[in-house]
Amino acid sequence: MRKIDYQLQSKQVIDIEIVEMLTKLHEFKGEQNMFLNIKADTLTSLLEIAKIQSAEASNKIEGIYTSNERLKQLVLDKTMPKTRGEEEIAGYRDVLKTIHENYEYIPLKTSYILQLHRDLYKYGSKNFAGKFKTMDNVITEETASGEKRVRFVPLESWETPSAIEEMCLKYMEAIELYETDALLTIPMAILDFTCIHPFNDGNGRMSRLLTLLLLYRAGYHVGKYISIEKKIEQTKEQYYNALQESSKGWLEGKNDYKPFVKYMLSILIACYREFNERVNIWNNKTLSKSEQIAEIIKNTLGAITKTEIKEQCSGIAEITVQRALADLVEKGDIIKIGGGRYTKYVWNSDRK
């Protein structure tokens, strides 16, 4: 079995770009602590939005869908799942809640990983829930033409328990004994988890849940308020490319963690920037509701839908959002694209 040494591997991935990204994230962490102390009302609203987006995006990556209305009811625990897909969304919701509320008491240990996987499938009758894979599996990808092909062959099933045990041990050792920067160690451990592919099903969703867990334990709480899963889903092609690049040669211990580390750091930076923008907009007492909506569109790269706008300003009534959009379009501040349910809005670049 390949050797894991996160202390050594952390030193090997360091370059100027990664140092700059780490410095920025350390700054964001300090600002985050300030916001957590003084902006409780805003954070509560962001938390509810992030729950819905996270459950939707992480399952969407795996091809699991339901309607927007059903999704919201499921995540807010106002209905019971009716389909297999909804069972898995509800399971993700519950594991997400467990991590949000109890991360301090959930170290990276094999027994906890198995419990979280069991709860991911608590609404179905899957006999593999909470158990490591019993047969060898492969990681596949679908090409643009719809053809499925093998991307990576993980460890054999008999090696899985000891590999996960080693991963957990070496992670805790790097963090607690050698005080390795968690922002480097977390993506490396998640890459290893993905390459081990320890379960018959649910490996992708578990990898993203474990990412949140380890970030929370390291003091990076932005994933509670800005959905990391949504950012990954929005950049799914880059996500899979980074996984592929960093998994080459993994079985032989010759892989390069750097592409996946850089990708995950970039996702975290994007989340913190959005977090700061939203909090600052919502707490700017000099802005009217219409001006808040305008700022949201202005700070969005590309187009944004009315649904996405409502998600970012849940305290503003839908009719107010609709009137503000109509007024902004009429004044020429924003440009309306398309119509009906597919309508999007973009800031007019000719405006300041």
pLDDT in tens, 100-136: 999 999 999 999 999 999 999 999 878 899 999 998 8
Q: Are residues 95 and 230 in the same domain?
A: yes
pLDDT at residue 42, as a whole number: 66
pLDDT at residue 232, as a whole number: 95
pLDDT at residue 272, as a whole number: 93
Cβ–Cβ under 8 Å, residues 56 and 11? no
Sequence-distant (6+) residues with CB within 8 A of 290 are 320, 323, 324, 327, 328
What average pLDDT score do residues 39-61 get? 82
pLDDT at residue 143, as a whole number: 64
Domain of residue 150: give its range.
6-281
* d(C-alpha 118, C-alpha 3), whole Å: 28
Cβ–Cβ under 8 Å, residues 56 and 63? no
* d(C-alpha 108, C-alpha 194), whole Å: 15
Q: What is the dihedral of CA 274, 188, 229, 221, to 10 degrees?
A: -50
Q: Which of 42-46, 165-169, 218-222 has the least mean pLDDT?
A: 42-46
Sequence-distant (6+) residues with CB within 8 A of 255 are 191, 195, 246, 247, 248, 249
Identify whether 1 is part of a domain.
Answer: no
The first and second tokens of residue 182, run together, are 């968690």
What average pLDDT score do residues 91-108 get? 95
What average pLDDT score do residues 296-325 get? 78
pLDDT at residue 342, as a whole number: 79
Give the DSSP per-residue string, 29-51.
HHHHHHHHHH-HHHHHHHHHHHH
CA distance readout (Å), 37 to 99, 108, 110, 290: 21, 28, 34, 27
pLDDT for residue 284 is more than 70: no
Q: Which of 66-70, 273-277, 339-343 has the least mean pLDDT?
A: 339-343
Q: Are residues 151 and 20 in the same domain?
A: yes
pLDDT at residue 348, as a whole number: 84
pLDDT at residue 207, as a whole number: 97
Q: Are residues 265 and 311 in the same domain?
A: no
Identify whether 53 is part of a domain.
Answer: yes
Cβ–Cβ under 8 Å, residues 227 and 236? no
pLDDT at residue 244, as a whole number: 92
Find the CATH number of the domain harbouring 68. 1.10.3290.10
What are the CB-based long-range contacts (under 8 Å, 24+) for 20-23? 21/262, 21/265, 21/266, 21/269, 22/181, 22/183, 22/184, 22/265
pLDDT for residue 227 is more than 90: yes
Burial zone of 266 (CB within 10 Å; 0-12 exposed, 13-18 middle, 19+ buried): middle
Q: In which residue are the tokens 């867990």 written?
A: 213
Identify whether 179 is part of a domain.
Answer: yes
Instruction: Select from 264, 281, 298 the last residue of a domain.
Output: 281
Identify whether 352 is part of a domain.
Answer: no
- Give the three-state DSSP class for 304: strand
pLDDT at residue 347, as a whole number: 85
pLDDT at residue 288, as a whole number: 77
Identify whether 194 is part of a domain.
Answer: yes
Q: Are residues 310 and 270 in the same domain?
A: no
Quote the distance between the C-alpha of residue 33 and its chain's center: 20
Instruction: Select from 262, 281, 300 the last residue of a domain.
Output: 281
Identify whether 109 is part of a domain.
Answer: yes
How many CA atoms does the CB half-sphere of 103 hold within 13 Å?
19
Report residue 145's pLDDT band, with 50, 70 and 90 as the boundaries: confident
**Which position has the higher pLDDT, 245 or 335?**
245
Sign of CA dihedral 227, 194, 213, 259: negative
Percent of the chain with pLDDT over 90: 52
* d(C-alpha 317, C-alpha 280), whole Å: 20
- What are the residues facing 141 on neighbouring strands? 149
Instruction: Select from 245, 263, 281 the last residue of a domain.
Output: 281
Report residue 38's pLDDT band, with 50, 70 and 90 as the boundaries: low
Percent of the chain with pLDDT over 70: 93
Q: Which of 267, 324, 276, 344 is nearest to 46 (CA)?
A: 276
Q: Which of 31, 28, 9, 30 is nearest to 181 (CA)?
A: 9
Q: Are residues 123 and 26 in the same domain?
A: yes
**Which position has the higher pLDDT, 138 or 202?**
202
What is the number of domains present in the chain? 2
pLDDT at residue 39, as a whole number: 61
Q: Are residues 230 and 275 in the same domain?
A: yes
Q: What is the pTM of this model?
A: 0.83
